[in-house]
Copies of this chain bind each other. A is one copy, B any other.
Amino acid sequence: MLRLYEYLLSGNCYKARLAMTQLGVPYELVEVNIRQGESRTPAFLAKNPNGRIPLLELDDGRLLPESNAILWYLAEGTPLLPNDRFERAQVLQWMFFEQYNHEPNVATSRWWLHFLKVGEERKEALAQKHEAGMAALGVMERWLEQHPFFVGDRYSIADIALYAYTHVAGEGGFDLARFPATLRWCAGVASQPRHLLITQGQLG
């Protein structure tokens, strides 16, 4: 059985849980409490020297880190990943956008505000992340004004990757009411079969 090292509050880990649930792939969860430094212990660093979760462990012990690489691995040969060469590259386009422009700003703002409850000492850094996060949400909004999903007009792992931190962006101080096409897309993602809430481990 696949084993996912993860933390329930992390949107990056949620991506893998959601995909495995929707694909009907059995898995077990191993909690790594990043708030208590459990991703930086010698034991964990031996599994992933980059010290990040999620980390997927296969039946034979092979290890795969990076949330969007895990999504790709899970989705190969399934309806969650297109077959067309250009559409596959577009899936990656949006997943790289997510890790470069979106996650470091939207997810980090959420982490600082909602979980760490940071205050004045990070006011300037937060303002920078808010500006960059709003720009990323704006890029998504302009695309979603013309398309129901990110690639090929149908639900794929590109949507899972971007949904993970977008639908909880309010917890990072972002007002999604300013992005009506994005809100409509969020509803479209949440209405997919076997959807999972970010606070859920597995389908009950």
Contact A50 B97 (CB under 8 A): yes
Q: Does A143 contact B (CB under 8 A)?
A: yes
Complex Cα–Cα for A96 and B65 (A): 10
A88 cross-chain contacts in B, Cβ below 8 A: 72-73, 76
User: Closest Cβ of chain B: how far from A66's Cβ, in Å?
Assistant: 4
Stretch at the interface among A21-29, A99-107, A113-121, A192-200: A99-107
Give how many copies assemble into the complex.
Answer: 2
Would you call B76 and A93 a contact (CB within 8 A)? Answer: no
A50 and B139 alpha carbons, distance in the complex (Å): 6
Are B92's CB and A66's CB within 8 A?
yes
A90 within 8 A of B: yes
Q: Is the CB of B49 within 8 A of A69?
A: no
Instruction: Find out whether the CB atom of A92 lies under 8 angstroms from the CB atom of B69.
Output: yes
A127 within 8 A of B: no
Docked complex Cα distance between A13 and B57 (Å): 34
Q: Which one of B49, B85, B139 lies within 8 Å of A49 (CB-CB)?
A: B139
Q: Are B142 and A96 in contact (CB under 8 A)?
A: no
- Tell me, rounded to whole Å, the shortest Cβ–Cβ distance linking A168 to chain B: 19
Q: Which of B49, B104, B139 contacts A142 (CB 8 A)?
A: B49
- The chain A residues found within 8 Å of chain B, CB to CB, are 49-50, 58, 62, 64-70, 72-73, 76, 85-86, 88-90, 92-93, 95-97, 99-101, 103-104, 139, 142-143
A-B contact pairs, 15 of them (CB 8 A): A50-B97, A50-B101, A62-B86, A64-B86, A64-B89, A66-B93, A68-B96, A69-B89, A69-B93, A69-B96, A72-B92, A73-B86, A76-B85, A96-B99, A100-B100
